[in-house]
Chains A and B, each alone.
Chain A
Amino acid sequence: MNQPAPARRVQLKPPVTNVGVLGWLRSNLFNTWYNSILTVLALALLAWLIPPLVRWAFIDSLWNSTSEACRDIDGACWSVIPNNIKFIFFGFFPQGQEWRPALAMVMLLALVFYSKERSRWKKSLGWVWLASLVIMGILMYGGILGMPVVETSQWSGLPLTMMLSFFGMVAAYPLGVLLALGRRSKMPAIKSLCVVYIEMIRGVPLISLLFMSSIMFPLFLPEGVTIDKVLRAQIAIILFTAAYIAEVVRGGLQAMPRGQYEAADSIGLNYNQTMRLIILPQALKIVIPPTVGILLSAFKDTSLVVIIALYDVLKTTKVALSNPKWTGYSTEAYIFLAVLYFIFCYAMSSYSRRLEKELNTGH
Chain B
Amino acid sequence: MTQNGRAKSTDPIIQIREMHKWYGDFHVLSNINLEVEKGERIVICGPSGSGKSTLIRCINRLEEHQRGQIIVNGVELTNDIKNIEKVRAEVGMVFQHFNLFPHLTILENLTLGPIWVLKTPKKEAEAIAMKYLEKVHIAEQAKKYPGQLSGGQQQRVAIARSLCMHPEVMLFDEPTSALDPEMIKEVLDVMIDLAEEGMTMLVVTHEMGFAEKVADRVMFMDFGEIVEQNSPGQFFANPQHERTKLFLSQIL
Residues on the B chain within 8 Å of A1, using CB: 137-138, 186
Q: With an 8 A cutoff between CB atoms, is A281 at the interface? A: yes
Q: With an 8 A cutoff between CB atoms, is A309 at the interface? A: no
Residues on the B chain within 8 Å of A2, using CB: 137, 140
A282 with B113: CB separation less than 8 A: no
Contact of B101 among A3, A260, A270, A273 (CB under 8 A): A260
Residues A361 and B88 in contact in the complex (CB < 8 Å), given A263-B95, A267-B113, A268-B117:
no
B99 with A262: CB separation less than 8 A: yes
Residues on the A chain within 8 Å of B97, using CB: 259
Residues on the B chain within 8 Å of A359, using CB: 103
Question: In the complex, which residue of chain B has the Cβ closest to the Cβ of A264?
Answer: B101
- Alpha-carbon separation in the docked complex, A181 to B160 (Å): 31
Q: With an 8 A cutoff between CB atoms, is B21 at the interface? A: no
Report the minimal beta-carbon distance from A192 to chain B, rounded to whole angstroms.
Answer: 23
Residues A273 and B95 in contact in the complex (CB < 8 Å), given A262-B62, A263-B101:
no
A267 with B145: CB separation less than 8 A: no
Q: With an 8 A cutoff between CB atoms, is B68 at the interface? A: no
Q: With an 8 A cutoff between CB atoms, is A278 at the interface? A: yes
Question: In the complex, which residue of chain B has the Cβ closest to the Cβ of A359?
Answer: B103
Residues on the B chain within 8 Å of A285, using CB: 103
Q: With an 8 A cutoff between CB atoms, is B161 at the interface? A: yes
Q: With an 8 A cutoff between CB atoms, is B121 at the interface? A: no
DSSP class of A's interface residues: helix, strand, loop or mixed?
helix
Report the minimal beta-carbon distance from B122 to chain A, rounded to whole angstroms.
Answer: 14
Residues A263 and B100 in contact in the complex (CB < 8 Å), given A268-B117, A362-B148:
yes
The size bracket of the interface on B is 20 to 34
In this complex, how many residues of chain A approach chain B with their Cβ under 8 Å: the count is: 24
- Alpha-carbon separation in the docked complex, A178 to B163 (Å): 34
Q: With an 8 A cutoff between CB atoms, is A266 at the interface? A: yes
Residues on the A chain within 8 Å of B89, using CB: 267-268
A259-303, CB < 8 A from B: 259-260, 262-270, 273, 277-278, 281-282, 285
Q: With an 8 A cutoff between CB atoms, is B198 at the interface? A: no
- Alpha-carbon separation in the docked complex, A69 to B137 (Å): 80
B117 with A266: CB separation less than 8 A: no
Q: With an 8 A cutoff between CB atoms, is B151 at the interface? A: no
Q: With an 8 A cutoff between CB atoms, is A363 at the interface? A: yes
Q: With an 8 A cutoff between CB atoms, is B18 at the interface? A: no
Residues on the A chain within 8 Å of B112, using CB: 267, 269, 277
Residues A259 and B85 in contact in the complex (CB < 8 Å), given A267-B117, A363-B147:
no
Q: With an 8 A cutoff between CB atoms, is B92 at the interface? A: yes
B73-100, CB < 8 A from A: 81, 85, 88-89, 91-93, 95, 97, 99-100
- Alpha-carbon separation in the docked complex, A269 to B93 (Å): 13
A268 with B88: CB separation less than 8 A: yes
B102 with A266: CB separation less than 8 A: no
B85 with A266: CB separation less than 8 A: no
Residues on the B chain within 8 Å of A277, using CB: 112, 116
Report the minimal beta-carbon distance from B170 to chain A, rounded to whole angstroms.
Answer: 11
A237-265, CB < 8 A from B: 259-260, 262-265
Question: In the complex, which residue of chain A has the Cβ closest to the Cβ of B105?
Answer: A361
A361 with B62: CB separation less than 8 A: no
Residues on the B chain within 8 Å of A361, using CB: 102-103, 145-147
Report the minimal beta-carbon distance from A105 to chain B, rounded to whole angstroms.
Answer: 35
Q: With an 8 A cutoff between CB atoms, is B162 at the interface? A: yes
A307-320 contact mask (Cβ, 8 Å, vs B): 1 or 0: 00000000000000
Residues on the B chain within 8 Å of A267, using CB: 88-89, 92, 112-113, 117, 161-162, 165
A3-27, CB < 8 A from B: 3
- Alpha-carbon separation in the docked complex, A54 to B145 (Å): 51
Question: In the complex, which residue of chain B has the Cβ closest to the Cβ of A3?
Answer: B140
Report the minimal beta-carbon distance from A73 to chain B, rounded to whole angstroms.
Answer: 58
A265 with B88: CB separation less than 8 A: yes
A116-148 contact mask (Cβ, 8 Å, vs B): 1 or 0: 000000000000000000000000000000000
Residues on the B chain within 8 Å of A266, using CB: 60, 62, 88, 91-93, 95, 162
- Alpha-carbon separation in the docked complex, A262 to B99 (Å): 8
- Alpha-carbon separation in the docked complex, A363 to B109 (Å): 15
A273 with B60: CB separation less than 8 A: no
Contact of A282 among B60, B99, B102, B138 (CB under 8 A): B102
- Alpha-carbon separation in the docked complex, A299 to B31 (Å): 61
8 chain-A/chain-B pairs, Cβ below 8 angstroms: A266-B91, A267-B92, A273-B116, A273-B117, A282-B102, A362-B147, A362-B148, A363-B102
Smallest CB-CB A-B distances: 7 pairs? A363-B147, A268-B89, A263-B99, A267-B113, A362-B147, A259-B99, A363-B102
- Which residues of B approach A to under 8 Å, CB–CB? 60-62, 81, 85, 88-89, 91-93, 95, 97, 99-103, 112-113, 116-117, 137-138, 140, 145-148, 161-162, 165, 186
Q: A262-B93, A278-B101 are in contact. List 5 more A-B contacts (CB 8 A).
A: A266-B91, A267-B89, A267-B112, A269-B117, A363-B146
